[in-house]
Amino acid sequence: MLGTNAYSRYGYLAGTDDQRLDDLNRALQETSIDAVWCIRGGYGAIRLLDRVDYAAIARRPKIFIGFSDITALLNAITRQTGVVTFHAPVARAAMPQFSRCHFERVLATPEAPGRLGRLPDPAEVLVPQENRIVTLRPGTAEGPLAGGNLTLLHCLIGTPYFPELDGAILFLEDAGEDLYSVDRMLAHLRLTGALRQLAGVAIGRFTELERATGDGALGLDEVLATYLDPLGIPVAYGFPIGHIESQWTLPLGVRARLDAGAGELELLEPAVA
């Protein structure tokens, strides 16, 4: 079933706020619908948060799937209702086998999915960089998963839709941002105190990252270390999370175990009943 306004346009938005909200709330309210799968990200979800029918999904929990801009809705629903939401590929294109395998493991089986798979190293590469997971601080941690797109999480600071991060394993990703912008958002998160009680951090991919050149230029690893290493908790980056074809499906609110030294993430609870 496709939303009535799925093909609507309003400037740079996929329809007016009222049109998009009508489709969303109808899907949350309709008892014959078991899952809501967002077609794409982009921008605009944050404009809807104060008028979403959270009571409807709390009364009858259903699967809610998406990533990128949908981070705003995922975190708002989970924070307002306690219902698990799913950071996963959107519905606009066919999934590669790696993504489909994890999608089905998490969403189609009422069992703890266990340890998530890793993407293979490129063939015939002596020192592979692609698909490499790098440990910033070793150790293991357990806690509920929280996170998503860094830019959208940053926009939720100070609202009732920002996730509860105390004791959580935070995962982050982003696309098309300048490195200084990533730096600034992490600095703001630190200043708010949001990072103080994290259990661990799993950094995904920061694709199309714009890095300044010239003397004194920093790398993403140096920026991440600036804000995450002083926390004294397990941290690794390079996980298959974000704006990439092959990615994990991560259930927000489900307990997980991060082994930063081994570069592994394990889901300890079922995400669906």
111 annotated active-site = no
Structure tokens at 205: 């991919």
Given the residues 154, 177, 243, 264, the one annotated as active site? 243
188 annotated active-site = no
5 contact partners, CB below 8 Å, separation of at least 6: 14, 15, 19, 20, 22, 23
Given the residues 68, 87, 154, 246, the one annotated as active site? 68
Q: Report the distance separating Cα 69 and Cα 265, nearest Å.
A: 23
Q: Write out the E strands in the chain.
A: 35-37, 63-66, 85-87, 114-115, 134-137, 140-149, 169-175, 200-207, 235-237, 250-252, 255-259, 264-267
243 annotated active-site = yes
Given the residues 102, 154, 173, 177, the one annotated as active site? 173
Q: Which residue numbers are catalytic?
A: 68, 173, 243
